[in-house]
Amino acid sequence: MRPATLPSAACLILILGALPACGDKDDPSDDTGADDTGVVDADGDGVPADEDCDDSDPSVGAPESWYDDSDGDGFGDPDNSTEACAGEPGLVGNAYDCDDADPSMPLLVDQASGTASGSGSTDDPIDSIATAIAAGPGCIVVGPGTYTGGLTVSADLILGSLDGAANTTIDAGGTGSAVEVTDGSLSIGGFTLTGGVGSTALGDQSLGGAIQAWNATGLRIEDCVVTGNQAKYGAGLFGPEKGETTIADSSFIDNVAETTGGGFYVGSVVIEDSSFTDNQASYGGGGYITMGAGSADADCSFTDNTATNGGGLYVADAGSFDGGRYSRNSAEKGGGVYIDDDSTFSGGEIDGNNAERGGGVDMEPGSTLSDTRADNNGATTYGGGLHTTGDVTLSDVQLWGNTADSLGGGALMASGSVTISDLYCKDNTAASSGGGLYLHEVNAEVTGLVLEHNSAEFGGGAAMSSSQVDTRTGDATIVSNEASIYGGGVHFEGNGGWYGGTFSANSAEHGGGAFVDGLTAMEQAFFEGNTATGNGGGLLANAMFGLTDGSVSNNTAADGAGVFVAAGTSTLLSTSEVTGNTASGSGGGARVEGELESVACDWGTGANDNAPQDVYAAGGDHNWDGVESFECTGTGGCN
């Protein structure tokens, strides 16, 4: 028997008594109840009349899931449901019946009216869940009260409460797990599970504070509150390893794992409309998934959890996880999510988390991040939105408004080959270098990159340390970034390169488009409309630098509006355009204090000419388009 679907909160409301529905009333003066579009909703409950079970009663809405009750015992068959209105004959609002041909099932447990020798019928309930389980039924229904934990399930079982988690508790009392599943599947709904310290049935480690179900063939937890449990692994839930696992409409709160999985430790899981709050662990404060696949819908939240790695979630051992919202979680690495070696995370919204490294997300070698947005996360050192190590893959990732107290406001990537497809970094800030990105010893293959409105002292858009970026297979836009000192668009240190892309409207004191402070090659890079309050509106070369098949146009600066070549350095411009740049001081096209070689370049004429001159030479010998006789020396201008 598969784990059954337990009743939704709406179904329980219909069992226990209807509550008023929410919705905007139509204008009372409108006798028909029709809105401006002609849709009739006479009772104003938000459900159109043609979909409403009773459009004269705002407490009654659209049809909901109801279950067949063939044996007439008041409990429904989880395998036979239909969308219907309340009161239809033969249907009930719960799914607790494991044998709808046998009116003696499920057994009823009621602490107030039951006895140890009860038969489990509605007229003669049992007083203990453990006693009912020992009788071997497939399903048990439990009345309100606090029941003793330490329950052991060894066969397929549906276990549900009548009055919900607020009124029905299983308390382990500091001994073992609240519920342990040694075999079979368990579907449990409508309980508060607390006081568990974990089972040692699988070894000498405490596992599964509230539920230990590693060997279960399936598990469904619905409408439950899992709180105040402890264990070394999986304080709220441990397992199943391989069985189908679903967590629906449930809350995991204040569970503490000594090492791994504060909220849960599972092989795979589907999470629906559930929350994980204030849980703690060394690895995976909110949850830990290993080897399998997990998913969470848009109504699932991981909030205020803490860990050393993975405050909200830890994905391990080539596992994968999709979806969920992660807010205000904290860790040393991966405040929101930690993606371990060869693992995958996608489809998440990661907001307001904090960590030393990777305020939003931390990625380890071989991992993949896709279809994810990380906003307003913070790192005390590296990677406000994202921190990566080794070879990683990014696809459809947005990093907005993240901050780092040192390097990489949007992201810091280190020591590996990075494959990027559609990365958008906007409004990120680093106190030191790399407002949008900081790359350290990275080789990045990029198809689709936007760095916009990021800021730092060095490298407002990006800072590069012994790294190279190749964007020639797609578009790269570095626009409107700001550096308070060097490199509004990008700042280069060490040997590196950048191939492809447009650098526009960036600004800095020196090097509005780019500041080069290490041996650097650029190809098919275009610098348009950048600004420096000091030197090098388009580019400032403070080390050996070359630009091939690119352009430096319409940039502004005090000196060297297009290119500023510092003393003791050399720059090669090849088959490129240097036009329309304007300096308030000298060197509209270039100011050269070191050495400049221009090969087959267009320096503009007429309206595209540089001002006040193409090249202002402060000293050195210069090869102009391969003509050795061309020299600019001293302090005069050369056109």
Answer whether 608's CB lies under 8 Å from 581's CB: no
Alpha-carbon distance of 538 to 478, in angstroms, equals 13
pLDDT score of 34: 60
Q: Which helix (H) or strand (E) is 515 found in, with range?
A: strand 514-517
pLDDT score of 633: 42
Q: Is the confidence at residue 37, as pLDDT, over 70?
A: no
Answer whether 492's CB lies under 8 Å from 469's CB: no
Q: Is the confidence at residue 57, as pLDDT, over 90?
A: no
| CA angle, 206 then 308 then 208, to 5° | 20
DSSP letter assigned to residue 621: -
Q: Is the confidence at residue 415, as pLDDT, over 60?
A: yes
| 3-class SS of residue 625 | coil
Q: Determine if the peptide bond prior to 240 is cis (ω within 30°).
A: yes
Q: Look over the chain and give the mean of its residue pLDDT values, rounded to a whole number.
A: 90
Alpha-carbon distance of 356 to 354, in angstroms, equals 7
Q: Which long-range contacts (CB under 8 A, 24 or more apart) does 130-136 make?
A: 132/107, 133/157, 135/107
> If you search the block for the tokens 């909703």, which residue do you land on?
41
Answer whether 9's CB lies under 8 Å from 190's CB: no
Answer whether 462's CB lies under 8 Å from 439's CB: yes
Q: Which of 266-270, 542-546, 610-614 has the lowest mean pLDDT?
A: 610-614
Q: How confident is the model at residue 97 (pLDDT cuts 50, 70, 90)?
A: confident
Q: In the 3-class helix/strand/coil scheme, how is 38-104 assigned residue by residue?
A: CCECCCCCCCCHHHCCCCCCCCCCCCEEEEECCCCCCCCCCCCEEEECCCCCCEECCCCCCCCCCCC
Q: What is the mean pLDDT of residues 257-261?
A: 98
Q: Is the confidence at residue 4, as pLDDT, over 70?
A: no
Q: Is the confidence at residue 33, as pLDDT, over 80?
A: no
Q: How confident is the model at residue 72 (pLDDT cuts 50, 70, 90)?
A: confident
132 phi, psi to nearest 5 deg: -65, -40
Q: How confident is the model at residue 637 (pLDDT cuts 50, 70, 90)?
A: very low
Q: How confident is the model at residue 55 (pLDDT cuts 50, 70, 90)?
A: confident
pLDDT score of 84: 87
What whole-number percentage of the chain has pLDDT above 90? 76
Q: Which helix (H) or strand (E) is 484 found in, with range?
A: strand 482-486
Alpha-carbon distance of 350 to 371, in angstroms, equals 11
pLDDT score of 619: 59
> If you search the block for the tokens 């607390």, which residue do you land on?
194
